[in-house]
């Protein structure tokens, strides 16, 4: 008996089957999350080594080449690409399809950490992450104002970024175009030369007196005390009054110390006005439309 004949002989059963399929389809359509890209993990590991205040040539020589040499020994690499700039080094490792990038990301970090003593001492962070097609912002916003936003970093983080990060389905929020305020020491060249100040010694002196560390525990009978020596600067005046030579010379004698906005190497604009940028990333499996509605609500 053919399917058509079976359907004609049992019309009620046939109708119930089709109604069930429609109900299941409608239910599934409401449960399935909407995605902009398919959930596909590319065999790519990216390593960022941020290093400010240098030249691309120095970054390539001091950071990129040593890192490339140890990363090239990883198994399964199909191609290795790198870029050096005044902001640091970026290395992309492209592996063969089927490679477990989670394991390779850990191995890549371990290889570079093993040569940390060969890299610049002031290289602070090694960022390693996996590339994913879904790891793209679902919303990119620009915010401009009649008032100057260059000094509004803390306020925007508190009133905008942190509330967005707490929304259900939001994985992270990237904030661009504005940096936190910083303490800037601007040396006066003729005074530095006149007093014979060695800049390397000055930098070392600043690092030595500005620290916070843990020195372990002290046991006194049944009581334990945690020892946490601190030498952190708390005010601009403390930095200015720092004695930097045996002759009693102070930092304020050769430099101006200011608490000011960080210098921007790039900027965001909206309608030809300075703006800050906000990129919102959703969690894996979260509904794209629902997350977007929560952000814009």
Please report whether residue 201 resides in a domain: yes
Pairwise CA distance, residues 14 & 37, whole Å = 37
pLDDT at res. 9: 79
pLDDT at res. 74: 92
- Residue 244's domain comprises 182-260
Q: Is the pLDDT of residue 280 over 80?
A: yes
What single DSSP character describes residue 266? Answer: -
Pairwise CA distance, residues 132 & 45, whole Å = 10
The CATH number assigned to the domain holding 225 equals 3.30.2090.10
pLDDT at res. 214: 58
pLDDT at res. 190: 92
128 and 78, same structural domain? yes
pLDDT at res. 274: 82
166 and 61, same structural domain? no
98 and 58, same structural domain? yes
The CATH number assigned to the domain holding 281 equals 3.30.70.1320
Pairwise CA distance, residues 60 & 82, whole Å = 9
pLDDT at res. 212: 56
205 and 113, same structural domain? no
254 and 207, same structural domain? yes
Cβ proximity of 7 and 14 under 8 Å: yes
Please report whether residue 84 resides in a domain: yes
202-252, pLDDT tens digit by residue?
Answer: 888 887 777 655 556 777 777 777 766 566 778 888 888 888 888 889 998
Cβ proximity of 173 and 278 under 8 Å: yes
Q: What is the chain's mean pLDDT, rounded? A: 83
175 and 246, same structural domain? no
Please report whether residue 245 resides in a domain: yes
The CATH number assigned to the domain holding 99 equals 3.30.70.1430
pLDDT at res. 198: 87
280 and 162, same structural domain? yes
Six token digits for residue 41:
């993990």
pLDDT at res. 1: 63
Edge-to-edge strand list for the sheet holding 88-95: 77-85, 88-95, 41-50, 127-132
231 and 151, same structural domain? no
3-15, pLDDT tens digit by residue?
Answer: 777 777 788 888 8
250 and 127, same structural domain? no
120 and 50, same structural domain? yes
Please report whether residue 18 resides in a domain: no
Sign, Cα dihedral of 239, 245, 250, 252 = negative
Pairwise CA distance, residues 149 & 177, whole Å = 10
122 and 240, same structural domain? no
Total domains in the chain come to: 3
Please report whether residue 6 resides in a domain: no
pTM (global) more than 0.75: no
State the pLDDT confidence band at 167, using cuts at 50, 70 and 90. Answer: very high
132-155, pLDDT tens digit by residue?
Answer: 666 778 888 888 888 777 778 888
| C-alpha 92: how far from chain center | 16
Please report whether residue 143 resides in a domain: yes
Please report whether residue 278 resides in a domain: yes
Please report whether residue 23 resides in a domain: no
Coil/strand/helix, residue 94: strand
274 and 152, same structural domain? yes
> What distance, in Å, lies between the first and last C-alpha atoms of the chain?
58
| C-alpha 215: how far from chain center | 30
């Amino acid at each position: 008996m053919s399917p058509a004949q079976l359907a004609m002989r049992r019309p009620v059963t046939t109708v119930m089957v089709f109604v069930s399929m429609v109900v299941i389809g409608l239910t599934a359509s409401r449960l399935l999350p909407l995605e902009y890209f398919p959930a596909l993990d590319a065999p790519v590991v990216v390593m960022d080594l941020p290093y400010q205040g240098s030249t691309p040539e120095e970054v390539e020589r001091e950071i990129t080449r040593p890192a490339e040499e140890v990363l090239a020994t990883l198994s399964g690499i199909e191609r290795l690409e790198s870029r050096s700039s005044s902001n640091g080094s970026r290395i992309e490792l492209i592996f063969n399809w089927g490679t477990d990038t989670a394991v390779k990301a850990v191995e890549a970090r371990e290889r570079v950490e093993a040569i940390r003593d060969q890299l610049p001492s002031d290289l602070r962070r090694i960022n390693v992450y996996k590339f994913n097609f879904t790891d793209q912002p679902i919303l990119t916003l620009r915010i401009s104002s009649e008032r100057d936003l260059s000094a509004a970093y803390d306020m925007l983080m508190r009133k905008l970024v942190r509330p967005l990060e707490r929304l259900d389905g939001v994985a992270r929020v990237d904030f661009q175009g504005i940096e936190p305020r910083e303490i800037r020491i601007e040396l006066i060249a003729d005074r530095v030369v006149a007093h014979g100040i060695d800049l390397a010694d000055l930098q070392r002196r600043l690092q030595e007196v500005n620290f916070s560390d843990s020195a372990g525990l002290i046991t006194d009978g049944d009581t334990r005390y945690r020892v946490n020596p601190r030498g952190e600067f708390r005010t601009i005046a403390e930095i200015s009054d720092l004695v930097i030579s045996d002759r009693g010379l102070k930092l304020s004698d050769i430099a101006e110390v200011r608490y000011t906005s960080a210098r921007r190497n790039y900027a965001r604009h909206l309608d030809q006005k300075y703006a800050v940028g906000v990129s919102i990333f959703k969690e894996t499996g979260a509904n794209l439309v629902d997350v977007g509605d929560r952000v814009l609500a």
